[in-house]
Each structure stands twice: as structure tokens, then as C-alpha cells.
Amino acid sequence: MLSLPTIQEDEKVVEQLDQVTKDSEEKAGQVFERLETLMNHSLNIVNIAKEMNQLIKKSKIKNKEPYQKLVDELEKVANNSLDEIEKTMELMQYQDIHRQKIERVINIVRALSNYMNTLFSSSINDEDRVSSAQYIAGDDKADVLSDEEIEALLKTV
């Protein structure tokens, strides 16, 4: 009987895809957490800049304009950071969509695998089957592959 090569755990395609989606979801969550932290820092900077402007307006400094320009620039940079963080979060949504697509492929592959297993199943155990013929009368024996040659060919696939 023809024996198929043993498949190692790390060679199972669905197993690999499951691990990819799990890792991807975990890392995406970590990225979102970091982006939220950055967003909170930027919001704090905006609020501090506003408070500083109020203090400058109330102060007795004669020429307030240079100070207000610096604080306004600080607020502008913080707002630009907030915009970039928001754009990055939008881009991360695409990563989640790709993860979901991979999960859909996994489900289709599993359904096909189950279908093929059902389609080719039999009530006869493999041990109870008659062994396959090496060649059939009329074949040129030189053209027929041996079990070893077939197994070697299957290992290359």
C-alpha cells in the first residue's frame, strides 16, 4: 500500500494561518494601545498650550507676542500629531480587514477539507483493502513507478 509522507505540526497550512491571524490581532491591539497613549499625550499638550496662552494673556509681560507664537506653534504641532495618529488608526483598520479575509480563507479551506474527506471516505478500512497492483498486464514495466518513486515524488510536492 502507498504511504504518504508524515506532515509535521509546523507544516499544517490552516494551523499556520490560525497562528498568523492570532498574532496579527494581538499585535494590532498593542499598536492601538500605543496610538491611544500617544493621542492622550498630544491632547494633554494641546490643553497645556491653551492654559499657557491664558496665563500669558493675564501676565504683565509687555511683549507677549513671541511667547504666544511659541505656544500657538506648540499647539499646532500637537494637533498635527493628533491628525497623524487618527490617520494611522484608520490605516490599522485595513490590517483588521486583511485578518478577517485570512480567517474567511481558513474557513473555506476547512470546509473544503471536510467535504473532500467525506467525499473520499469509505466504510472499508485501509488495512482491509487489497494492495494496489504494481503494474497491469500490457504496461511497459519501465514506465511504471515503484512505491519508493511515488513516495519520493509526493515528498517533493
DSSP string, 110-127: HHHHHHHHHHT--SS-GG
Query: Other C-beta atoms within 10 Å of 132: how many?
Result: 9
Query: Other C-beta atoms within 10 Å of 79: how many?
Result: 15
Q: pLDDT digits over 82-98, tens only?
A: 999 999 999 999 888 99
Sign of CA dihedral 135, 138, 140, 141: positive
pTM of the model: 0.65
CA-CA distance, 17 to 108, in Å (whole number)?
Answer: 12
Percentage of residues in the chain having pLDDT higher than 90: 57
Q: Which residue has the higher pLDDT, 22 or 7?
A: 22
Q: Residue 32 carries which DSSP code?
A: H
Torsion of CA 46, 51, 53, 56, to 10 degrees: -150
Q: pLDDT digits over 97-152, tens only?
A: 998 999 999 999 999 999 998 998 888 887 777 666 666 666 666 666 777 877 77
> Considering only CA atoms, which of 39, 90, 49 is closest in space to residue 72?
49
- Burial classification of residue 85, based on how many CB atoms lie within 10 Å of its CB (0-12 exposed, 13-18 middle, 19 or more buried): buried
State CA 122 to chain mean position distance: 37
For 12-38, b/e burial (b = at least 16 CB within 10 A) is eeeeebeeebeebeeebeeeeeebeee
CA-CA distance, 84 to 115, in Å (whole number)?
Answer: 47
For the chain, strand residue ranges (E) read none
